[in-house]
Structure 1
Amino acid sequence: MIKKQVALITIFCALSFFFAGTGLAHFGMIIPSDSMVMQDDNKNIKIRLSFSHPFELSGMELVKPDICKVMANGKKIDLINELKKTEVMGHTAWIIDYSVKMPGVYMFYMTPKPYWEPAEDCYIIHYTKTVVTAFGDDEGWDEEIGLKTEIIPLSKPFGLYTGNIFQGIVKLDGKPVPYAEVEVEYYNKDGKITAPTDYMVTQTIKADKNGVFTYAAPKGGWWGFAALNTSDKKMLFKGVEKDVEIGAVIWVKFHDMK
Structure 2
Amino acid sequence: MLRKSIFAAAMVSVLSMAQQANAHFQLIYTPEINIKKAGEVPLKLVFWHPMSNGHTMAMGEPVEFYSVFKGKKTDLKPTLNPITFKGLSNEATAYDASVTLKRNGDYALVAVPAPYYEESEDIYIQQITKVIINKGDVPTNWSEPLGLKTEIVPLSKPYGALVGSTFSGVVLKNGQPAPGVEIEIEHMIAEPDMNANKPQNAKVSEVPGGAIVALTDAQGKFSFGIPKAGYWGFAALGVGPDSEFNAKELSQDAVLWIKAHTLED
Matches within 5 A, 1:1-258: 23-39=21-37, 43-58=39-54, 59-88=56-85, 89=87, 90-189=91-190, 190-195=201-206, 197=208, 199-200=209-210, 202-229=211-238, 231-236=241-246, 241-258=247-264
Report the Cα distance in structure 2 between the residues aligned to 1:99 and 1:180, rounded to whole angstroms.
Answer: 34
**% of aligned pairs identical?**
33
SS in 2 for 1:81: helix
TM-aligned CA deviation for residue 196 of structure 1: 5.4
SS in 1 for 2:233: strand
Worse overlay, 30-39 or 61-70: 30-39
TM-aligned CA deviation for residue 22 of structure 1: 5.1
| Structure 2 residue aligned with 1:12 | none
CA separation of 1:162/1:87 partners in 2, compared to 1, >3 Å: closer, same or farther? farther
| Structure 1 residue aligned with 2:198 | none
Asked if structure 2 preserves the Cα contact closer than 8 Å seen for 1:179 and 1:210, the reply is: no
Higher relative contact order (CA 8 A, sep 6+): 2
TM-aligned CA deviation for residue 232 of structure 1: 4.9
Asked if structure 2 preserves the Cα contact closer than 8 Å seen for 1:154 and 1:167, the reply is: yes
Structure richer in helix, relative to its length: 1
Report the Cα distance in structure 1 between the residues aligned to 2:73 and 2:96, rounded to whole angstroms.
Answer: 18
CA separation of 1:196/1:146 partners in 2, compared to 1, >3 Å: closer, same or farther? closer
TM-aligned CA deviation for residue 193 of structure 1: 4.8
SS in 2 for 1:215: strand
TM-aligned CA deviation for residue 32 of structure 1: 1.7
Asked if structure 2 preserves the Cα contact closer than 8 Å seen for 1:37 and 1:43, the reply is: no
Asked if structure 2 preserves the Cα contact closer than 8 Å seen for 1:30 and 1:128, the reply is: yes
Report the Cα distance in structure 2 between the residues aligned to 1:177 and 1:195, rounded to whole angstroms.
Answer: 29
CA separation of 1:82/1:66 partners in 2, compared to 1, >3 Å: closer, same or farther? same
- Larger of the two Rg values belongs to structure: 1
Structure 2: unaligned runs, 5 residues or longer? 1-18, 191-200
TM-score, length-scaled by structure 2? 0.81
TM-aligned CA deviation for residue 233 of structure 1: 3.8
Report the Cα distance in structure 1 between the residues aligned to 2:213 and 2:220, rounded to whole angstroms.
Answer: 15
Report the Cα distance in structure 2 between the residues aligned to 1:143 and 1:71, rounded to whole angstroms.
Answer: 11
Q: How many residue pairs end up in the alignment?
A: 230
TM-aligned CA deviation for residue 154 of structure 1: 0.4
Report the Cα distance in structure 2 between the residues aligned to 1:234 and 1:141, rounded to whole angstroms.
Answer: 31
SS in 2 for 1:167: strand
